[in-house]
Structure 1
Amino acid sequence: MEEIQLQLEETKELMQKAVDHTAAELLKIRAGKAMPNLLDGIMVSYYGTPTPLQQVASVTTPDARTLSIKPWERTLISEIERSIVNSDLGLAPQNNGELIILTIPPLTEERRKNLAKQAKQECESGKISLRTVRKDTNDSLKKLQKEGASEDEVKKAEDSVQKLTEQYSSKLDELLVKKEVEIMKV
């Protein structure tokens, strides 16, 4: 039945979005080496408007432990510095008048464990999203059955939804394993 196929396609799309979102959140968890996406959440006041850091400066990694931020306008240096200090990154910016240098300290064992725990929580949130999508889809399928779809078709579709849930759940598990290895690597 066409409605059932549409439901399954939409389910697949929503589950992929949940996995993509989790992957993006995991990227923000720092793993001991300098990566420009570490600063993705930083907003800078640009002429009174909160603007993402990447839109007012270029961020580069001169080496594995350093981030270099070069604002498009020199007047933004103190604003960028303030935004970094006020963020929850725990980094101390150094400013030489043209660039802001961030030195990424090596992670302590305790910090690594906390980051691994944070990564686990992100993946669990992703799995909760998958289960929510599964529940919503199954509810819609039951509605279709009441509207005249055959019981066999609905049962088959529910099995497909379960398979999709397991498939995307294992993708989240893979993401978590990769991230934990990255975090724990000294």
Structure 2
Amino acid sequence: MTEEIQFYLSDAEESMQKAVNHTNAELTKIRAGKASPSMVEDLRVDYYGTATPISQVANIIAVDARTLMIKPWEKNMLGEINKAIKNSDLGLNPQQEADGVRLNIPALTQERRRELVKQVKNETESGKISIRNIRKDVNEALRKLQKEGTAEDAVRDAEAKVQKMTDANIVKIDELLSKKEAEIMTV
């Protein structure tokens, strides 16, 4: 197998792994009834005129399964953090205290659980689409190599390997989906 084909294969493998990791990261942001710092760490607050993630201006601690505590490093950030949470689509009511902001995470209703499962399915479908697009791009590049004179058998073998990678990574995303779905639907 030529170096170019090997380059495309390793690039495809790396890109597909990044797609799986991205999907996993997006799924951790979807709350499953438990308080998790990842729910709010990417929310943006106005920090001296710059939109900055909360995780860069405060500590976020899961006090218990239903409570998050956000303790800013500067007391003047309390109001900004409070405002950012109220303006977000999380549907949470922040309670401002002397040294931080407390978030009580309400228990999920069955209807809300179904909505979250739909959101999870959309997110995993996006991950699968990314993987399929990577496969398409790599296969096009391999066919271009064949037109430039690379052996047809080598290209066909490489395309088969790309398909195996695609299948394996889609299975990983399906596993993420079933795990997150079970987590959300568990009362």
Q: Is the TM-score greater than 0.5?
A: yes
Q: How many angstroms does 1:152 deviate by?
A: 0.3
How is 1:74-89 mapped onto 2 (pairs within 5 angstroms)? 74-89=75-90
**CA distance in structure 2 between the aligned counterparts of 1:103 and 1:53, rounded to whole angstroms:** 17
Q: How many angstroms does 1:78 deviate by?
A: 0.5
The root-mean-square deviation of aligned C-alpha atoms, in Å, is 0.6
**CA distance in structure 1 between the aligned counterparts of 2:63 and 2:143, rounded to whole angstroms:** 56
**For 1:106-161, what per-residue CA distance to the aligned partner results, in whole angstroms no more than 9, with x for missing partners?**
00000000000100110000000011000000000000001111000000000000
Ranges in structure 1 where 5+ consecutive residues have no aligned partner: none
Ranges in structure 2 where 5+ consecutive residues have no aligned partner: none
**CA distance in structure 2 between the aligned counterparts of 1:128 and 1:13, rounded to whole angstroms:** 16
Q: How many angstroms does 1:65 deviate by?
A: 0.2
**CA distance in structure 2 between the aligned counterparts of 1:31 and 1:25, rounded to whole angstroms:** 13
**For 1:56-95, what per-residue CA distance to the aligned partner results, in whole angstroms no more than 9, with x for missing partners?**
1100011100000101011110110000000000000001
8 A contact 1:70–1:99 mirrored in 2: yes
Q: What is the percent sequence identity of the aligned residues?
A: 58
1:131 matched to 2:132? The reply is yes
| Residue in structure 2 matched with residue 171 of structure 1 by the alignment | 172
Q: How many angstroms does 1:41 deviate by?
A: 2.6
Q: How many angstroms does 1:174 deviate by?
A: 0.4
**CA distance in structure 2 between the aligned counterparts of 1:57 and 1:172, rounded to whole angstroms:** 32
**CA distance in structure 1 between the aligned counterparts of 2:139 and 2:133, rounded to whole angstroms:** 10
| Residue in structure 2 matched with residue 36 of structure 1 by the alignment | 37
| Residue in structure 2 matched with residue 19 of structure 1 by the alignment | 20
**CA distance in structure 2 between the aligned counterparts of 1:149 and 1:3, rounded to whole angstroms:** 10
8 A contact 2:9–2:162 mirrored in 1: yes
1:62 matched to 2:63? The reply is yes
| Residue in structure 1 matched with residue 95 of structure 2 by the alignment | 94
| Residue in structure 1 matched with residue 152 of structure 2 by the alignment | 151
**CA distance in structure 2 between the aligned counterparts of 1:175 and 1:96, rounded to whole angstroms:** 37
TM-score, reference length from structure 2: 0.98
* Structure 1 residue ranges (4+ consecutive) displaced by more than 3 angstroms after TM superposition: none
8 A contact 1:27–1:38 mirrored in 2: yes
8 A contact 1:28–1:40 mirrored in 2: no
Q: What secondary structure does 2:95 align onto? A: strand
Partner AA of 2:124 in structure 1: C
